Amino acid sequence: MEKFTKKQQIKELKEGDLVNDIFVVKIKKSIAEYSKGYFFTLILSDSSGGSIEYKYWGDSEQDKVQAIYNLITADSVVWVKGKVSSYQGKLQIGNSDPNNLRVLNQDEYECDFIAGPKKDVEEMYTTLIGKIDSVKNDDLKKLLLDIFNSLGDKFTQHPGAIQIHHNWRGGLLQHTLEVIDYCETSVKLFPELDRDLLISGALLHDIGKLEELETTSRIKGTRKGQFIGHLTLGIIHVADKLKDSSLDDLLKEKLLHLIVSHHGELEYGSPKKPMFAEAVVLYFADQLSSRASEIIEFIKENKDATEDDSMYHRRHSTNIFLR
Amino acid sequence: MEKFTKKQQIKELKEGDLVNDIFVVKIKKSIAEYSKGYFFTLILSDSSGGSIEYKYWGDSEQDKVQAIYNLITADSVVWVKGKVSSYQGKLQIGNSDPNNLRVLNQDEYECDFIAGPKKDVEEMYTTLIGKIDSVKNDDLKKLLLDIFNSLGDKFTQHPGAIQIHHNWRGGLLQHTLEVIDYCETSVKLFPELDRDLLISGALLHDIGKLEELETTSRIKGTRKGQFIGHLTLGIIHVADKLKDSSLDDLLKEKLLHLIVSHHGELEYGSPKKPMFAEAVVLYFADQLSSRASEIIEFIKENKDATEDDSMYHRRHSTNIFLR
Amino acid sequence: MEKFTKKQQIKELKEGDLVNDIFVVKIKKSIAEYSKGYFFTLILSDSSGGSIEYKYWGDSEQDKVQAIYNLITADSVVWVKGKVSSYQGKLQIGNSDPNNLRVLNQDEYECDFIAGPKKDVEEMYTTLIGKIDSVKNDDLKKLLLDIFNSLGDKFTQHPGAIQIHHNWRGGLLQHTLEVIDYCETSVKLFPELDRDLLISGALLHDIGKLEELETTSRIKGTRKGQFIGHLTLGIIHVADKLKDSSLDDLLKEKLLHLIVSHHGELEYGSPKKPMFAEAVVLYFADQLSSRASEIIEFIKENKDATEDDSMYHRRHSTNIFLR
Amino acid sequence: MEKFTKKQQIKELKEGDLVNDIFVVKIKKSIAEYSKGYFFTLILSDSSGGSIEYKYWGDSEQDKVQAIYNLITADSVVWVKGKVSSYQGKLQIGNSDPNNLRVLNQDEYECDFIAGPKKDVEEMYTTLIGKIDSVKNDDLKKLLLDIFNSLGDKFTQHPGAIQIHHNWRGGLLQHTLEVIDYCETSVKLFPELDRDLLISGALLHDIGKLEELETTSRIKGTRKGQFIGHLTLGIIHVADKLKDSSLDDLLKEKLLHLIVSHHGELEYGSPKKPMFAEAVVLYFADQLSSRASEIIEFIKENKDATEDDSMYHRRHSTNIFLR
Amino acid sequence: MEKFTKKQQIKELKEGDLVNDIFVVKIKKSIAEYSKGYFFTLILSDSSGGSIEYKYWGDSEQDKVQAIYNLITADSVVWVKGKVSSYQGKLQIGNSDPNNLRVLNQDEYECDFIAGPKKDVEEMYTTLIGKIDSVKNDDLKKLLLDIFNSLGDKFTQHPGAIQIHHNWRGGLLQHTLEVIDYCETSVKLFPELDRDLLISGALLHDIGKLEELETTSRIKGTRKGQFIGHLTLGIIHVADKLKDSSLDDLLKEKLLHLIVSHHGELEYGSPKKPMFAEAVVLYFADQLSSRASEIIEFIKENKDATEDDSMYHRRHSTNIFLR
Amino acid sequence: MEKFTKKQQIKELKEGDLVNDIFVVKIKKSIAEYSKGYFFTLILSDSSGGSIEYKYWGDSEQDKVQAIYNLITADSVVWVKGKVSSYQGKLQIGNSDPNNLRVLNQDEYECDFIAGPKKDVEEMYTTLIGKIDSVKNDDLKKLLLDIFNSLGDKFTQHPGAIQIHHNWRGGLLQHTLEVIDYCETSVKLFPELDRDLLISGALLHDIGKLEELETTSRIKGTRKGQFIGHLTLGIIHVADKLKDSSLDDLLKEKLLHLIVSHHGELEYGSPKKPMFAEAVVLYFADQLSSRASEIIEFIKENKDATEDDSMYHRRHSTNIFLR
């Protein structure tokens, strides 16, 4: 069976277009009555970043409409045939034929609804392997290779966050390399730093994100991630690998400390504050990469959405200047 | 070789007594000159809770005095012979004979400098095993038995904290049972609670303290504990055991969440806040046991030490009434 | 005159039903013009927990419609006759006859719009009296009997809060007994506690809620409660009773301190932090009862309202897992 | 029997002076041995603000020295005969005759160890009565007269705090008038304010200090004050008087709210934040009087005690400039 | 050309009125399609404090409607001709003739959309000059005269804030005088205060608001104000004037400190906390004026807008009582 | 006249040495009596980081000793002749000849008591000039050259802080370059950043430290710095230079914003939070340089001072691991 693929981006649809394509269901609204029977509304999205309202105008057989409705959940991928019209100044897709709406299984379509990487993934991965290779302590290097080799593509394809910064395929890898760059600058400025330890910590600090985030038709938090958090999931992952490692105890503990303290403060979710120089550097390097990226993406996303010069940013709790 | 044992409690020493006994070095003060040569001062303690100053009056051969001095560290156990005198209203032990001061190895003495249990340890342990036995989910019961059986005596002898509350042999066990008691009351009041889950969480919540605290000649924090903390050490311990368990994933994650959230707030060291009823109950049950114990011990310790009606308590940041 | 009683629960109404029943006005929306004259909208509720929109379609005589409208206020109890129809997928009651809408005085209906007790009130009250009876200090027992006897049914029928936890008739009594149960467990674990004092404090700690909350057609805060708060209102109540009591001064002051400090921290509204063990225990016992109840009720209320696994809880400022 | 009176101020003592006077024991140090027997040390103070060390050189009969020692407590008033000498650059009074040291009962001396008023008390009281007289609501005026008449001299002689600001006889009266002055300015600027209410609140806001502070040989907090606090003690006082008042309920509640909210924020000990304009004004008027006074007294006290330009102020957590 | 002037206040418009007047565009909503072409919506306001919806019903020539739409921005002043109708109970102005809507340049109308002063500006200014004149230090008086003379009308016409308190012409002047009044009361109560310094600080403390706020068709924050803040802008202004002043250095620094510390706490935006008595007084005097005014205006604005007795105030984070 | 120079470092003094050298008076203790007259004690320090007690044993002519004593203040540079002895295990310098102690004026000695630069100052300055030269906007480059040229050596010799990090000659320059290095890494990673603006902000962000700190015989805060702070002093400095600059207004405001917001949060002393990406980067770059340096210096200073593995760090409020 041929798989469905994506052809039309929502952002390019206009009145009168005929739609025959696949979308992600972003929001599913409740079913209701109208003059000819029952209807429901979906908000559809795709990786273009746009979204469009979809109306299913069913007939008076409530059970049948309800049956279709029940198949759909938020995050469903649907194939949709219909026509784009304009209502109250906004575009919408309308349809009344049950054959023109279908919920797809994951093996029925071939499409990535997650935004693609911003830098070349292979190049980034080569850089990352080079960083591992530059670690002088052989036991440490072995541990890192062991961890990253067993991850395969998983690490390189993973996003770094759900929203705003590094929320694209390869985002985790890109963020990790940015943190490493700030660490390298630190090693250059402060030769007292243990480069092996610092680079290893930078490589591993967000490894728990592999289990905290999942990418189906969108990036979302896992149940495990909500319950335990990427910081602790990373600890479990690395502690397990350390069991068979011949690294000396102090180094093992310092490595775990780098992960456990990388949010810097208890109120940011680190059960321990940084207790040596490498941990302090890793905390601020992580901040620099994520905060700088966050503001830059925020400005990009919002500067065309408003005529105002600035917009309030909740997490930073200040207005951000957009010009 | 016969081992040294403890015979005289510091709290019972009086002027003129001849001392011939073993003590812990609580504080080691710096070496200094006096009219006849070099001397140094130690503060000695024992499990009576008292402490006494010890003066070693060496001769003018600086190297020799220094050599003796260097052998001693804080927490050393020493055998001491000397006489109790009174100086400026305080008792002290004086000695000038190098043969009358000796640092002991762990196999040279038989004495526990940690305060003993406040309740019968065997009885408490029987209660604890009974609690495990009352868990209805067989996989969960198996996990708990597996964990506690592999710990042996370690769990029953461990203190619950360094200072103030449950800081005695068996303190961890006693605290665990107190928390369980509050959980049992909760189950009685709120039948919606999952008793299996809650009791299991209570049993395991402080298991990381086994690696966070160590008892040599006193209770002290381990390096590992300082770097990683008992909450995360407990997670590593339990996550390792869960790897081979046939418990379903949701229960595994809930169990880890109970440990990870049992400090209740991020600023108290929990990277996640309690997300379901059992986690909320465990947090407050833990607080009730530790805070009540803390105040009761604080009053006991201090009410005879002052004529004032109340005394400032740093951790509670308020005056505590002592009468 | 026969009184109106409640017959139809909102949660069970369906399209086409004829309504002839009494309801509480939850929200009163502003009056407006339509093709045939003036109309207004009410949101009606009852103790089933449901709510339904009500439309009064008046004629073109603005004064008359306004006159009816002016009689109604939020919390009014109204008798309503009309038909249930469906509009935009939601049910509503419509009516255009001024004789079919009437605001009732309190003596015109017999109906309790507050949710009923979750446990048997008489049984609970017997338990409470038993607790008073178990107090050994006769002066203290006399004081407690005096206070509770003079309250009559008022205490047993009162809710414990406006929202979420113990917000039902008898909720205050139930909460008080839950707190006492945690205190009893504490007394068993810590024999150093003064049981008489602790149980008395538990019995009285929320007595100010009698003046802070009132139950008309719903539970709401009184003006007095907003201005002064239940903690201080409780103090005024008890201090007044203590004036004629022969209790010794220290016990009087400790009793007042238990009330004044039972929120535990200044920022939670206690002008004094707990200064002795019984006050610390009461604070956490109160927390355990209210927080556990709060989460359990939150999950019950919301688990069917969403397909999501978790929902944000403002007061706890975290997601609560609903499954 | 003639009473002892105060003749020599500590601040004026100099080496060689013979002392024959009464003092307050500020600190009592522990008893100790010396070459000829047992001695102990006291720190004596008087209302001059100075303090001096006192040495009692007892003989070798330990019991007798101990007996004298046991009679003395902190805050004892003692009659002392001895000679001022200088030791290590500091003055001290020495004595070895048991007949030259005596603890006095309250009826054996006539001396006020508390600093005297800074303004004329009668004038201030006349002003206060004038303020009551200016209240237009007769019920309110009656209430105020009733309260202040039943206090007699108690109010006019009371200090306003233990330390730093208004900690002198008449300090409470002076502070109350300062607060009223800021309120009067507010009434002039904002005619919307209810002057009757505001002035009454200002008059009563700190009335609980009468029970929170006591002046024996020094100003100190009462047990009642520690347990309940002046804010709540004031509420109890005023609520009791309001029981028989014919004031309307809203005014009664507003008056209590003014007291309950006058610390402005929960974390400063107010269980309710100010909820109307008069309460907001009272809060800041109270702050202005106390904070301004606090800094001015701090500078006066410390500017001659250091050569530095500034000194750290704990409560303000900043350096205060002294020049 | 004759200028447009304001004739009809929004608050007095009623159904059927013909409108021919000027308004400020408060909000501009997006353009949309309707049956006959394209329409857009504006929310218009004027200094009466009211607002009304305006509908422009364009024809099917999208470009033309868009062209008109593009000329308008939020804060535009427009001349509008149309008829008031009622829709869903709310008034609106409708128009479909392009000649009846026109965006005006600043020189085409004569109207002040900012609320007028609440007190006589000339009288207030005379008072302010009198305050300057009362400064005894001639260099300081010269500096103040120099600053205020060079400002001309700018200072007297300026509002004190964007919202709620002193947000009217002359508001800055009125607030400044209120602060001075509290300072004068302080000087009377505490003769230790340096009146010259305190009055000068009060006069200058908010001078940076001249650059932080601007009044076009409404009061709004400038870009400069958002980036730098009125506190720092005031510092730049005064520091520049101080360069040529012959005041001694200590006085110059104290004056700048008064401005830099007048928000009292770091978290309120003062990079330094008050370090001497005058700075403490200025901080609380500023609070008294702004907070009292804020609550009084809040009650005035909201008491008729709700039937509830109280309303939540975000900045004070408490309910404010409105009756 | 030949100037005094430094010859003997305190850290190298040993018992019996004859001292004839210059020192800084770190602490001046009060004068006191002894058997032969009056004596006083000084604590002397030098740039070796060590300190030693100095005893002046005066004769019985109190006035003369007092006269010498009065000449000395903390931070005085003194010439001292005396002998090193050992007392209670600590070294001290003793002297009884008034001719052997002399307070020096600044022109009487040639010695730098401040620690010297850690990197080559000329090289660093060349790098800094290179950074200015790399700015592409000519107006901005001109401004920077103008500012740094007018500072001369002042900037290159200045320390970066009083304590712990960059508290040495050239420390401000070194810190500035470290911040720039982190900014350069940021520009490489995020090409969206305006490099000209960011580098300029980095160059100027701490320029106010030139007026906040002064180096006499030690690094200390100026009165001006205490009152106004380096952040605001930097603003005054740069705002003055900007008056005549032809830079466009937006860039001027952004530059001032970079300085005003570089502490990142209001509670850290920034009256405005960072509002665009360059400001966010500068804040964290500043943190990385100062925090990393702070921890590294803390470990260096303390690791030999204790046998413990870790030591509490007040500013970081955590234990720092020293091994």
pLDDT digits (tens, 9 = 90+) for E97-151: 989 999 998 888 887 788 889 999 999 999 999 999 999 999 999 999 999 999 9
- For the question of an ipTM over 0.90, the answer is no
At D152, the pLDDT band (50, 70, 90 cuts) reads confident
Percent of chain B at pLDDT > 90 equals 60
Which of E215, F2, D290, F190 minimizes the C-alpha distance to A165?
F190
Residues of D with CB under 8 A from a CB of E: 178, 181-182, 184-186, 188-190, 192-193, 250, 272-277, 280-281, 284-285, 287-289, 291-293, 295-296, 299-300, 310, 316-321, 323
Half-sphere CA count of C130, side-chain side, radius 13 A: 9
Distance CA E310, CA D84 (A): 68
The 10 Å Cβ neighbour count of residue A68 is 17
The closest CB to that of C257, out of D227, D267, D271, belongs to D227
Distance CA F160, CA D18 (A): 57
Q: What is the pLDDT of residue A88?
A: 62
Contacts from D127-132 at CB under 8 Å and sequence distance 24+? D127/D177, D128/D173, D128/D176, D128/D177, D128/D203, D131/D177, D131/D180, D131/D199, D131/D203, D132/D203
Assign A317 to helix, strand or coil: coil
- Asked whether B181 and C188 are in contact (CB, 8 A), the reply is yes
Output the pTM of the full model.
Answer: 0.89
Nearest CA distance, E89 vs chain C (angstrom): 4
Query: How many angstroms separate the Cα of E266 from the Cα of each of B216, B259, C280, D317, E262?
Result: 46, 37, 34, 11, 10
- Asked whether B167 and B301 are in contact (CB, 8 A), the reply is no
pLDDT per residue over E277-320, tens digit each?
Answer: 999 999 999 999 999 999 999 998 888 777 788 888 888 889 99
Q: What is the pLDDT of residue C127?
A: 97
Distance CA B256, CA B279 (A): 10
- Asked whether A13 and A84 are in contact (CB, 8 A), the reply is yes
Distance CA E291, CA E313 (A): 12
**Dihedral sign computed on CA atoms, order C98, C103, C104, C105:** negative
Which of E234, E192, E241 minimizes the C-alpha distance to E212?
E234
Which of E197, E168, E210, E214 minimizes the C-alpha distance to E261?
E197
Q: What is the pLDDT of residue A78?
A: 93
Higher per-residue confidence, B87 vs E170:
E170
At F206, the pLDDT band (50, 70, 90 cuts) reads very high
pLDDT per residue over B15-66, tens digit each?
Answer: 888 999 999 998 888 787 777 888 899 999 887 767 899 999 998 888 888 8
The closest CB to that of F89, out of B31, B73, B223, belongs to B31
At D190, the pLDDT band (50, 70, 90 cuts) reads very high
Q: Cβ of C229 and D256 within 8 Å? A: no
Q: What is the pLDDT of residue F89?
A: 63
Q: What is the pLDDT of residue C272?
A: 97
Distance CA F124, CA F131 (A): 11
The 10 Å Cβ neighbour count of residue F67 is 12
Q: Which helix (H) or strand (E) holds F24?
A: strand F18-28
pLDDT per residue over C128-181, tens digit each?
Answer: 999 999 999 999 999 999 999 999 889 999 999 887 788 899 999 999 999 999
Q: Cβ of B73 and F321 within 8 Å? A: no
Distance CA A95, CA C4 (A): 49
Assign A163 to helix, strand or coil: coil
pLDDT per residue over F129-149, tens digit each?
Answer: 999 999 999 999 999 999 999
The closest CB to that of C276, out of B182, B284, B295, belongs to B295
User: Per-residue pLDDT for D200 more than 90?
Assistant: yes
User: Mind giving me the DSSP string for B103-170?
Assistant: EEPGGGEE---SPPPSS-HHHHHHHHHHHHHT---HHHHHHHHHHHHHHTHHHHH--S-SSSSS-STT
Residue type, D280: V
Which residue from D minimizes the CA distance to C237? D236
Distance CA C17, CA C57 (A): 19
User: Per-residue pLDDT for D222 more than 90?
Assistant: yes
User: What are residue A22's DSSP bridge partners?
Assistant: A79
- The segments of chain A whose pLDDT lies below 70 read 1, 49, 88-89
User: Per-residue pLDDT for F101 more than 90?
Assistant: yes
User: Per-residue pLDDT for D164 more than 80?
Assistant: no
Percent of chain E at pLDDT > 90 equals 60
Q: Cβ of F321 and B74 within 8 Å? A: no
Distance CA B72, CA B103 (A): 7
The closest CB to that of C277, out of B178, B181, B295, belongs to B295
DSSP category for residue D31: P
Tokens of D84: 């001022």
* Residue F120 region by backbone torsions, left for phi larger than 0, else alpha for psi between -120 and 50, else beta: beta
Q: Cβ of B321 and D226 within 8 Å? A: yes
Q: What is the pLDDT of residue C88?
A: 62
Q: Cβ of A319 and E73 within 8 Å? A: no
- Arithmetic mean of pLDDT over chain F: 91
- Asked whether E85 and E24 are in contact (CB, 8 A), the reply is no
Q: Cβ of F310 and A181 within 8 Å? A: no
The closest CB to that of D236, out of C224, C239, C249, belongs to C239
Distance CA D22, CA D33 (A): 27
Percent of chain B at pLDDT > 70 equals 98
pLDDT per residue over B169-186, tens digit each?
Answer: 999 999 999 999 999 999
DSSP category for residue D6: -
Higher per-residue confidence, B164 vs F20:
F20
**Dihedral sign computed on CA atoms, order E58, E61, E62, E66:** negative
Most confidently predicted of A80-94, B227-241, B305-319, F8-22: B227-241
Residues of F with CB under 8 A from a CB of B: 86, 88-90, 307, 309-310, 319, 321
Q: What is the pLDDT of residue B1?
A: 61
Contacts from A36-41 at CB under 8 Å and sequence distance 24+? A36/A60, A37/A61, A37/A62, A37/A65, A38/A62, A38/A65, A38/A66, A39/A65, A40/A65, A40/A69
- Asked whether F46 and F112 are in contact (CB, 8 A), the reply is no
Give the Cα-Cα-Cα angle C180, C186, C191 (nearest 5 degrees): 125
Subunit partners of chain D (3 or more CB pairs within 8 A)? B, C, E, F
- Asked whether D172 and D159 are in contact (CB, 8 A), the reply is yes
Residues from chain B contacting residue C287 (CB–CB below 8 Å): 284, 287
Distance CA E212, CA E222 (A): 5
Q: What is the pLDDT of residue B89?
A: 63
CA E316 to chain centre: 20
Match 């609670």 to its residue by tokens: B193
Residues of E with CB under 8 A from a CB of D: 178, 181-182, 184-186, 188-190, 192-193, 250, 272-277, 280-281, 284-285, 287-289, 291-293, 295-296, 299-300, 310, 316-321, 323
Residues from chain D contacting residue B307 (CB–CB below 8 Å): 73-74
DSSP category for residue F251: H
Percent of chain E at pLDDT > 70 equals 98
Which of A7, A215, A212, A219 minimizes the C-alpha distance to A106?
A215
Distance CA A284, CA F292 (A): 9
At C323, the pLDDT band (50, 70, 90 cuts) reads confident
Q: Cβ of F226 and D88 within 8 Å? A: no
Tokens of D192: 């919307």
At E70, the pLDDT band (50, 70, 90 cuts) reads confident
Q: Label each residue of chain C as H, E or C.
A: CCCEECCCCHHHCCCCCEEEEEEEEEEECCCEEECCEEEEEEEEECCCCCEEEEEEECCCCHHHHHHHHHHCCCCCEEEEEEEEEEECCEEEEEECCHHHEEEECHHHEECCCCCCCCCCHHHHHHHHHHHHHCCCCHHHHHHHHHHHHHHCHHHHHCCCCCCCCCCCCCHHHHHHHHHHHHHHHHHHHCCCCCHHHHHHHHHHCCCCHHHHEEECCCEEECHHHHHHCHHHHHHHHHHHHHCCCCCCHHHHHHHHHHHHCCCCCHHHCCCCCCCCHHHHHHHHHHHHHHHHHHHHHHHHHHCCCCCCCEEEECCCCEEEECC
Q: Which alpha helices (H) appear in chain A, and where do they start and end?
A: 62-71, 121-133, 138-151, 153-157, 171-189, 195-204, 209-212, 223-228, 230-242, 249-260, 277-302
Q: What is the pLDDT of residue F47?
A: 78
Give the pLDDT mean for B279-302.
94
Q: Cβ of C89 and A33 within 8 Å? A: yes
The closest CB to that of D235, out of C223, C236, C275, belongs to C236
Higher per-residue confidence, D218 vs B284:
B284
The closest CB to that of B280, out of C193, C273, C295, belongs to C295
Q: Cβ of F269 and E271 within 8 Å? A: yes
pLDDT per residue over D28-61, tens digit each?
Answer: 887 877 778 888 999 998 877 778 999 999 988 8
- Asked whether F154 and F209 are in contact (CB, 8 A), the reply is no
